[in-house]
Amino acid sequence: SLSSHLVTVRGGGFSLENDYLLRVTRNSDVEDGVLATETRSHFELVFNIPAWKYSGGTASVSLVENGILRQDAGLLHFVIRAVFTSIRSFSGTVFGGILILNGVGWSDDA
């Protein structure tokens, strides 16, 4: 099963009243992370980011405040890699059978 990840954003001037999202984007694929807890400060926000269910590659992360992309927050890029989470074989024969590979981040083009 796919899990989520906690991501901490450190900076300054965060409002305790505003709504924040952490947006991960790769091409047309988008995942929005929501604040993990109501405990936040003017210097740190913690987001719960869903596991990436799209193909791997370079993604960007941006901060959204009250529905508006924060241009002054800077832009972070990182690479999402494809990974195997399990391998199961349904046959013990050498010449055939079924092999199931589970994982995330594989490209539809590969």
User: In this structure, are residues 22 and 47 in contact, taking their beta carbons and an 8 Å threshold?
Assistant: yes
In this prediction, residue 67 carries a pLDDT of 93
Q: For 72-110, how does the pLDDT look when each residue is reduced to its tens digit (9 = 90+)?
A: 766 676 677 666 566 665 655 555 566 565 665 555 555
Closest CA to 36 of 49, 52, 47: 47
Q: For 1-18, how does the pLDDT look when each residue is reduced to its tens digit (9 = 90+)?
A: 457 788 888 888 888 889
Place of tokens 């024969």: 93
User: In this structure, are residues 84 and 105 in contact, taking their beta carbons and an 8 Å threshold?
Assistant: no
* Buried b or exposed e, range 1-40, using 16+ CB within 10 angstroms: eeeeeeeebeeeebeeeeebbbbbebeeeebebeebeeeb
In this prediction, residue 1 carries a pLDDT of 44
Q: For 12-57, how does the pLDDT look when each residue is reduced to its tens digit (9 = 90+)?
A: 888 888 999 999 888 999 989 888 876 678 899 999 888 888 887 8
| 59 exposure class (CB count in 10 Å sphere: 0-12, 13-18, 19+) | buried
